[in-house]
Amino acid sequence: MSLSFLNRTVNKQVCRVCRAIAELKTGRLCAECTRIKARLGSRFPDAIRHAAAPEQQCKRSGCVCAACDLRTLDLHPFYPGEAAQREAHFHPRCHELWLEIGLRTRSEEDLITPGR
């Protein structure tokens, strides 16, 4: 009986966002960061408009993160909502991924309409 499947080594590296040691997916992100980034892309298709709003620090605990739906425990970034939008609170890791999506969207818009 061969047990060669038990000797399979996984090349683990450090995730560039959360710094966890894990098997990395695309973009040098761990599975959890990849999942959060995909969720952000679907929840905020117009991230560039939100990223232009001024970032503030929320001092409340127990706010629900707009990216992962988990509650915050300490100081975290948030963006105040406008008339039709509600506030967007983020864990630091989720916020970094959200900014990446906003910057990517902004650079794609610049390619479409140069000179802005």
Mean pLDDT (whole number) for 42-51: 64
DSSP state of 52: T
Q: Which of 44, 83, 49 is nearest to 67 (CA)?
A: 44
Whole-angstrom distance, CA of residue 108 vs CA of residue 33: 22
**3-state SS, residue 104:** helix
Percent of the chain exceeding pLDDT 70 equals 68
Residues β-bridged to residue 12: 23
Residues β-bridged to residue 56: 78
Whole-angstrom distance, CA of residue 37 vs CA of residue 102: 11
| Cβ atoms of 76 and 89 closer than 8 Å | yes
User: Residue 62 has what pLDDT?
Assistant: 93
DSSP H or E run through 56: strand 56-58
Where exactly are the structural domains of the chain?
35-112
Higher pLDDT residue, 106 or 75? 75
User: Residue 111 has what pLDDT?
Assistant: 46
Say whether pTM exceeds 0.95: no
The amino acid that residue 70 corresponds to is L
**pLDDT at residue 100 above 70?**
yes
Q: Mind listing the pLDDT tens digit for each residue in 1-15?
A: 666 666 666 688 999
Q: Mind listing the pLDDT tens digit for each residue in 49-81?
A: 555 567 899 999 899 999 999 999 999 998 887
Mean pLDDT (whole number) for 11-31: 92
